[in-house]
Amino acid sequence: MSSSRVSVKARAAFGRSMPITIAALTSLTAGVLGLVACAFVAVIVLQGTEYTTPLIGPILLSTSGKNFVLGTVAIVLSILHIIVGFMLWRSTSQGGTVGIVLAAVDIVIYSIALFAPMVVYVVLPLLFVGTIMAIAIIFGWDTLR
In order, the DSSP letters of 11-35 are HHHHSS-HHHHHHHHHHHHHHHHHH
Name the amino acid, one letter, at 121: Y
| Phi and psi angles of residue 74, each rounded to the nearest 5 degrees, phi first | -65, -40
Domain positions in the chain = 24-143
Query: How many angstroms separate the CA atoms of 25 and 132, rounded?
Result: 11
41-58 pLDDT, tens per residue?
788 777 777 667 676 677
What secondary structure letter does DSSP report for 115?
T
- Listed as ranges, residues in the chain with pLDDT below 50 are 1-6, 9, 12-13
